[in-house]
Amino acid sequence: MSQQLLARNASMLEAYNTTKYGAMFLDDALEFMAEYFTESSVDLIVTSPPFGLVRKKKYGNVDADEYLKWFKPFGLEFKRILKPSGSLVIDIGGAWIPGQPTRSLYHYELAIMLSKKIGFYLAQEFFWWNPAKLPTPAEWVTVRRIRAKDAVDCIWWFSPTPWPKASNRRVLAPYSNSMRGLLKKGYRPKLRPSGHDISAKFSVDNGAAIPANLIAVPNTESNSYYLRYCRKHGLPPHPARFPAAIPEFFIRMLTDPGDLVLGPFAGSCVTGEVCERLRRRWICVEVVEEYLKGALGRFEKGAHPKQESLFSADTSREQGWYKVFHPALLWNGREEPLLSDGGKTRILNRVKK
Ligand SMILES: C[S@@+](CC[C@H](N)C(=O)[O-])C[C@H]1O[C@@H](n2cnc3c(N)ncnc32)[C@H](O)[C@@H]1O
């Protein structure tokens, strides 16, 4: 299988595991790409690289400041091996500056480097909202109460040309109840106060809505086949997995069955699992063997259900929706005076009057 996937030096290669559509490799992704991929051979790279987190995680994140230097050679390889019609999708969480309630700019700097120094185009930025995210960092959010909960990751969608192949028809969303009502009652074309001309076409029922660039998925997997497999074999589950719906959104939108998808920082190989289900060819590369041992569980017989999509939201009752409160809903209360030092002095147990 690995020989069919790779164009270069494939005969020298030993896969950690192969499946019907793909293969996983235990290797450094940078060396692997340089050794085995010819240029313009990959349709999609979808990945969550190690983040430049302030508090280092077990799998060896680099410091935020070092991040760009570390990432650049990967960016250059990504550009080389992607087809002109291909895409690079990077899920990247933000980071806080140690000891103060301000944010690192590293993930924005990464986006700027990929565009200005490496020549990628920003096809679109997406935001992954994790509604189940805990309020952290506790010191700024729950103790001093001076920052909001940080619950979105940026997802940068880059392309080597301005015209990556893509269709939003592949990732449609169900209509909301209000839109359904509007379609039923009809809509009178008019000019909005904003100047937008809402034509009669707006009231045509296309069966589903065009998705926004906000993807709402909780990261709350607790009893999956993968986790049970890890428990059974005494393996640590990967500590920074993304939910399958994240790679799945982009794999559906940006590739056709049979296309080649690369997960260069594969972790537990979620990307491979999704590709297998969607009949895309795939390669996952991960440098820590323990994570690949666990990933094997994703490809055991019976590991995932037969149906292509794991979710079937009952669109008629708005199941599977996440609602966000309108910000003004609780704006009628008392206005606690703001601290003039911005909360720098730590005051605990402030008595509520
Ligand atoms: C954020 S995790 C990816 C998790 C993955 N998306 C999942 O859902 O399981 C990043 C992974 O990149 C791996 N990694 C770091 N440097 C690497 C390299 N040079 N080559 C291959 N993998 C690497 C880490 O070991 C870690 O498992």
The residue ranges of every structural domain in the chain are 2-173+211-310, 175-209
Q: Are the CB atoms for 242 and 219 separated by under 8 Å?
A: yes
Q: Is the pLDDT of residue 188 over 80?
A: no
| C-alpha torsion sign, points 282, 24, 302, 238 | negative
Amino acid code (one letter) for 5? L
Cα distance from N-terminal residue to C-terminal residue, the chain: 69
Ligand 1 centroid to residue 49 C-alpha, Å: 6
- Predicted pLDDT at 183: 76
Which residue is associated with the tokens 């998925």? Answer: 217
Pocket mutation for ligand 1, best pick of 33, 59, 74, 285 (most atoms within 8 Å of C-beta): 59
Pairwise CA distance, residues 18 & 282, whole Å: 10
Whole-number average pLDDT of the chain: 87
- Predicted pLDDT at 187: 67
- Predicted pLDDT at 154: 97
Q: Which atom of ligand 1 is nearest to the CA of 47?
A: 6
DSSP SS3 for 43: strand
Q: Is the pLDDT of residue 170 over 80?
A: yes
Q: Is 255 in the pocket of ligand 1 (CB under 6 A)?
A: no
What confidence category does residue 59 fall into, taking pLDDT thresholds of 50, 70 and 90? Answer: very low
Q: Are the CB atoms for 81 and 282 separated by under 8 Å?
A: no
- Predicted pLDDT at 317: 55
- Predicted pLDDT at 348: 63
Does residue 66 or residue 69 have the better pLDDT?
69
What confidence category does residue 353 fall into, taking pLDDT thresholds of 50, 70 and 90? Answer: very low
| Active-site residue (options: 2, 27, 43, 48) | 48
Ligand 1 centroid to residue 286 C-alpha, Å: 6
- Predicted pLDDT at 57: 47
Of 93-102, 141-150, 156-165, least confident by mean pLDDT is: 93-102
CA-nearest residue for atom 26, ligand 1, is 267
- Predicted pLDDT at 313: 53
Length reported for the chain: 353
Here the tokens at position 269 are 């190989």
Pocket mutation for ligand 1, best pick of 24, 51, 286 (most atoms within 8 Å of C-beta): 286
Here the tokens at position 312 are 């079937």
Ligand 1 centroid to residue 52 C-alpha, Å: 12
What's the whole-model pTM score?
A: 0.90
Pairwise CA distance, residues 292 & 268, whole Å: 6
47 by Cβ neighbours in 10 Å (0-12 / 13-18 / 19+) ranks as buried
Q: Is the pLDDT of residue 271 over 80?
A: yes
Q: Is the pLDDT of residue 49 over 90?
A: yes
- Predicted pLDDT at 168: 96
Q: Is the pLDDT of residue 307 over 60?
A: no
- Predicted pLDDT at 195: 74
Ligand 1 centroid to residue 50 C-alpha, Å: 6
| Active-site residue (options: 27, 91, 153, 259) | 91
What confidence category does residue 131 fall into, taking pLDDT thresholds of 50, 70 and 90? Answer: very high
Q: Is the pLDDT of residue 60 over 60?
A: no
Select from 27, 10, 45, 21 the least CA-distant residue to 291: 27
Q: Is the pLDDT of residue 118 over 90?
A: yes
**Share of residues in the chain with pLDDT > 90 (%):** 64
Q: Compute φ and ψ for 17, nearest 5 degrees.
A: -160, 145
Annotation marks residue 135 as catalytic: no
Pocket mutation for ligand 1, best pick of 72, 221, 242, 265 (most atoms within 8 Å of C-beta): 265
Does residue 201 or residue 270 have the better pLDDT?
270
Of 157-171, 204-218, 316-330, least confident by mean pLDDT is: 316-330
Annotation marks residue 91 as catalytic: yes
2-173+211-310 is classed CATH 3.40.50.150: yes
What would the mean pLDDT of 313-330 be, rounded to a whole number? Answer: 74
